[in-house]
Structure 1
Amino acid sequence: MQKLEKERDTLRDDVSYLQSQSMRNNLVFTGVVEDHTDGNEHADVTERKLRQHLQDAFKIAREVADSIRFERVHRSPGSPFAGKTRNIIAKFTFFKDREMVRKSWKQLDATQFRVFEQFPRDVIQKRRMLFPQMKEARRLDKRAYLAYDTLYIDGTAVRA
């Protein structure tokens, strides 16, 4: 029984890793207004809004924002309805473009907008469990950061 449980856990980790690899070029953008007039917002409209958002909120030059290539830009799954704005999920063609946008997150301070990496559900759960430990370590002036599903405190790995 223990052997089967261990094998199951290993398979879950493998599936989670594969999911995360398929999401590694994705960023999730929150707070970008959604058009509800025609039901579901068309992907072209969403991409246009994202490019404008990159210029306005991230302070990225228009030429640079227009040169970024996306494989796909869409809203989070679910039915759109008034009063609720679904997140935008953007799959970048080039990892360098994704990192340039992600590292501009400080431009979003004091706004309602946020940007973050996309992870599978189980990785998000692990990160949520590790987050309080990270905050406590930082409060104690230790170097702490999350990488995937692992917390590093002064170079030592801590897993959930």
Structure 2
Amino acid sequence: MLEKQREELRDDVAYLKSQSMRKNFVFTNIQEDNFSGNVTAEITETKLRKHLQETLKIAKDVADTLRFERVHRSPGQPVPGKIRNIVAKFTYFKDRKMVRRQWKHLSGTGCQMYEQFPPEVLEKRRKLVPKMKDAKKQGKRSWIVYDTLYVDGKPVKQ
């Protein structure tokens, strides 16, 4: 009984972590000219807005009006030859949703963007990806939401 309660508490904590990351997006492969590791958040935000305009084809006036609570590079010191990701916390969920819809413009650019999840949820999602691909090969519609796999609109037990 205690083991079950412990697992439920872990799931609750992971859910709460994911809710705090709900408005976050991670952007990869946006050039970094930071060899010292102390570039300001404003400069990082400017680079992100430029990326949104040039790569995601969002109009300049729209990109300039997007509101962020925080924009920063992934923690740690810069490593030569490696580009740290940018984590952006949108103030408004609808802005994040609008940016997310532009994902098709990223193909062939070497850049990616994805939702941020806590490590516990990422691990569950990694295990679900092969099952999702198998379902797609069988001609079924499948997708992952949070930590649940859906096949033809029905959740699949792990």
Q: Verify the 8 A CA contact 1:138 1:144 in the aligned structure 2.
A: yes
How far the C-alpha of 1:159 sits from its partner, in A, is 3.9
What count of residue pairs does the alignment treat as equivalent?
158
Q: TM (normalized to structure 2)? A: 0.97
Map of 2:130 onto structure 1: 132
Question: What are the ranges of 5 or more consecutive residues in structure 2 without an aligned counterpart?
Answer: none
Query: In the TM superposition, what are the counterparts of 1:5-154 in structure 2 within 5 Å?
Result: 5-154=3-152
Question: What are the ranges of 5 or more consecutive residues in structure 1 without an aligned counterpart?
Answer: none
Q: Which runs of 4+ in 1 moved over 4 A?
A: none
State the SS of the aligned residue for 1:33.
Answer: coil
Q: Verify the 8 A CA contact 1:40 1:80 in the aligned structure 2.
A: no
**Identity of matched residues, %:** 59
AA aligned opposite 2:136: R
How far the C-alpha of 1:41 sits from its partner, in A, is 2.2
Taking a change above 3 Å as real, the CA distance of residues 159 and 28 of structure 1, as seen in their structure-2 partners, is farther
Q: TM (normalized to structure 1)? A: 0.96
How far the C-alpha of 1:125 sits from its partner, in A, is 0.5
AA aligned opposite 2:90: F
Q: Distance in 2 between matches of 1:48 and 1:87?
A: 15
Q: Verify the 8 A CA contact 1:36 1:81 in the aligned structure 2.
A: no
Once structures 1 and 2 are overlaid, which stretch shifts more, 31-40 or 66-75? 31-40
Q: Distance in 2 between matches of 1:97 and 1:151?
A: 26
Q: Distance in 2 between matches of 1:150 and 1:130?
A: 8
Q: For each residue in 1:40-66, what CA deviation from the matched residue of structure 2 results, as whole angstroms up to 9, or x when unmatched?
A: 221111000000000010000000000
